[in-house]
Amino acid sequence: MRKYIPYGRQDISDEDISEAIKVLRSDYLTQGPEVPKFEESICKYVNSKYAFAVNSATSALHISCLALDVGKNDIVWTSANTFVASANCALYCGAKIDFIDIDKKTNNICIDELSKKLKLAKSENKLPKVIIPVHLSGNSCDMKAISKLSKVYNFKIIEDASHAIGASYDNSKVGSCKYSDITVFSFHPVKIITTCEGGVATTNNKKIAKKLNLYRTHGITKEFSEMHNTPHGPWYYEQLYLGLNYRMTEIQAAIGITQLKRVDDFVNKRNDLAKIYNDEISKEYFDLPVLTNLSYSSYHLYVIKLKKSFDRKDHRAFFEFLRDQNIGVNIHYIPVHFHPYYKKLGFEIGDFPNAENYYYSAISIPLFFGLKDEEQSYVINKINNYFK
Ligand SMILES: *Cc1c(COP(=O)(O)O)cnc(C)c1O
DSSP sequence for 152-203: HHT-EEEEE-TT-TT-EETTEETTS-TT-SEEEEE--TTSSS--SS-EEEEE
**339: pLDDT confidence band, cut at 50, 70 and 90?**
very high
Closest ligand 1 atom to Cα of 186: 7
Q: How far is the CA of 86 from the centre of ligand 1 (A)?
A: 7
Q: How far is the CA of 123 from the centre of ligand 1 (A)?
A: 33
Q: How far is the CA of 162 from the centre of ligand 1 (A)?
A: 5
Position 1 pLDDT exceeds 90: no
Determine the average pLDDT of the residues in 46-71: 98
The answer, yes or no, to whether any atom of ligand 1 lies below 6 A from the CB of 199, is yes
Position 123 pLDDT exceeds 90: yes
Position 242 pLDDT exceeds 90: yes
Whose C-alpha lies nearest to ligand 1, atom 15?
A: 162
Output the pLDDT for position 199: 98
10, 46, 256 from 183: Cα distances, Å: 22, 10, 17
The answer, yes or no, to whether any atom of ligand 1 lies below 6 A from the CB of 83, is yes
The answer, yes or no, to whether any atom of ligand 1 lies below 6 A from the CB of 162, is yes
Residues 269-280 have pLDDT tens digits of 999 999 999 999
Q: Are 304 and 349 in contact (CB under 8 A)?
A: no
Output the pLDDT for position 116: 98
Question: In the chain, what is the straight-line distance between the N-terminal and C-terminal CA atoms, in Å?
Answer: 24
Output the pLDDT for position 306: 97
Output the pLDDT for position 215: 98
Whose C-alpha lies nearest to ligand 1, atom 5?
A: 57
Determine the average pLDDT of the residues in 69-94: 98
Output the pLDDT for position 2: 86
Q: How far is the CA of 57 from the centre of ligand 1 (A)?
A: 5
Mean pLDDT of the chain: 98
Distance CA 129, CA 211 (A): 17
Q: How far is the CA of 83 from the centre of ligand 1 (A)?
A: 6
Output the pLDDT for position 292: 97
24, 122, 300 from 110: Cα distances, Å: 47, 18, 20
Determine the average pLDDT of the residues in 120-143: 98
Supply the DSSP symbol for 367. Answer: -
The answer, yes or no, to whether any atom of ligand 1 lies below 6 A from the CB of 82, is yes
Strand order in the sheet with 96-100: 50-54, 199-203, 182-186, 156-160, 130-132, 75-79, 96-100
Determine the average pLDDT of the residues in 332-344: 98
Output the pLDDT for position 11: 98
Whose C-alpha lies nearest to ligand 1, atom 6?
A: 57
Output the pLDDT for position 386: 96
Q: How far is the CA of 185 from the centre of ligand 1 (A)?
A: 8
- Amino acid in position 189: P
The answer, yes or no, to whether any atom of ligand 1 lies below 6 A from the CB of 325, is no
